Amino acid sequence: MTTNGSLRVGQEAPDFTATAVYDQEFKDITLSSLRGKWVVLFFYPLDFTFVCPTELLAFDKRLSEFESRNTQVIGCSVDSRWSHLAWKNTDVNNGGIGQVKYPLLQDLDKSIARNYDVLTGATEAYVETEDSAETTTVGGGVALRGSFLIDEEGVVRHAVLNDLPLGRNIDEMLRMIDALSHHQKHGEVCPAGWKDGDNAMAESPEGVSNYLSENAESL
């Protein structure tokens, strides 16, 4: 599946098969093979840069929390698998990421980043082939800090895009998984700042009235 540069929440996540560094090996990963799990797919600009290792290490330190929520974390950049491997084999104290325990995809042709509409400098173009014609994006440099939460059916349920200087809050992604899981199980909607164990609300005028009468002051 390709997109026209306008991937939105509620759409099916663009599928891909790509080579990843996982542990110390190269493995092919197909997104659609992970159906039945939540998937956090996050993009970062480049290996051996500055904000990026803080994010990758933050994901790794919380990996058991993602796994306990039946969630597969996957990182992706436009670097090669060899670059990923070298970065993993660089000590954290020297700007490396050490042995992070989730896969890092190579995206040398930038097709994954392009389909998720996170490439810097990408422009729209109308492309015709013998079999099809579509509007797509061409060019582009590196990926912005895009994060996508994909549900068990392969649908994008949450997406956030940060500019290059702005590191992510990894705990917010855990909160989103908890909120969506709560909604799936109980049918309630989750208000601003909701955390697992907090009161949610019924999706109705009465529900919001009841919630606000008890919680408005603490928002």
Instruction: Kindly report the average pLDDT of the chain as a whole number.
Output: 91
Nearest to 9 by CA among 114, 183, 155: 155
Q: Which two tokens stand for residue 161?
A: 């895009």
Nearest to 151 by CA among 37, 1, 48, 58: 37
Q: Is the sign of the CA dihedral 156, 159, 163, 166 positive or negative?
A: negative
**pTM metric for this prediction:** 0.89
> Is 52 in the active site?
yes
Q: Residue 114: which region, alpha, beta or left (left: phi > 0; alpha: psi -120 to 50)?
A: alpha
Q: Report pLDDT for 134.
A: 55
Report whether pLDDT(3) > 90: no
45-62 pLDDT, tens digit each: 999 999 999 999 999 999
Q: How far apart are CA 28 and CA 23, in angstroms?
A: 13
Nearest to 70 by CA among 40, 26, 111: 40
Q: Is 163 exposed, middle or buried (0-12, 13-18, 19+ CB in 10 A)?
A: exposed
Report whether pLDDT(122) > 70: no
**Could you give the count of Cα atoms lying within 13 Å of 196 in the half-sphere of its Cβ?**
13
Say which of 31, 52, 76, 97 is annotated catalytic.
Answer: 52
Q: Are strands 17-22 and 104-106 parallel, antiparallel or unpaired?
A: antiparallel
Q: Is 91 exposed, middle or buried (0-12, 13-18, 19+ CB in 10 A)?
A: exposed
- The tokens 């500019």 sit on which residue? 163
192-204 pLDDT, tens digit each: 999 999 999 999 9
Q: Average of pLDDT values for 28-51? A: 97
Q: Domains in the chain and their CATH numbers?
A: 17-168 (3.40.30.10)
List phi, psi (to 5°) of 168.
Answer: -85, 160
**Could you give the count of Cα atoms lying within 13 Å of 153 in the half-sphere of its Cβ?**
6
